Amino acid sequence: MTARFAPGDPVRVRPGAKPGHVRTPDYLKGKDGKIERVLGAFPNPEDLAYGLSGEPERVLYKVGFSQGELWPDYGGPAEDPLYADVYEHWLEPGGGK
């Protein structure tokens, strides 16, 4: 399983909804972040939830965001980071800043 993104790559979490079980929290949808670490490939939990095989496996990334981007009214330094684990099919290349 080759990873589409590498550490340092800018990414955007795909906006929008998908019916059923989803492992990408809503507050990250449409947000810009950066690949922090490639965590490996795992059976797709969004299929496992329905008793399917989870194949093909999906690459999971630790993605970094800045709190100031996520919450305009964040009560701390805007550069405070937030990291979340996001599967590849929820990510698209980021525009870069």
Number of Cβ within 10 Å of residue 44's Cβ equals 21
Torsion sign across C-alpha atoms 66, 69, 72, 78: positive
CB 25 within 8 A of CB 17: no
Place of tokens 């550069």: 79
- Contact call for residue 14 and another protein (CB under 8 A): no
Shortest distance in whole angstroms from residue 94 CB to another protein: 19
Looking at the Cβ atoms of 44 and 94, the one nearer to another protein is 44
Shortest distance in whole angstroms from residue 92 CB to another protein: 18
Supply the DSSP string of 3-23, one letter for each residue. -S--TT-EEEEPPS--SS---
- Contact call for residue 3 and another protein (CB under 8 A): no
Shortest distance in whole angstroms from residue 9 CB to another protein: 18
Which residues form the interface with another protein (CB under 8 A)?
Answer: 23-25, 27, 39-40, 42, 45, 60, 62, 67, 70-71, 74-77, 79-87
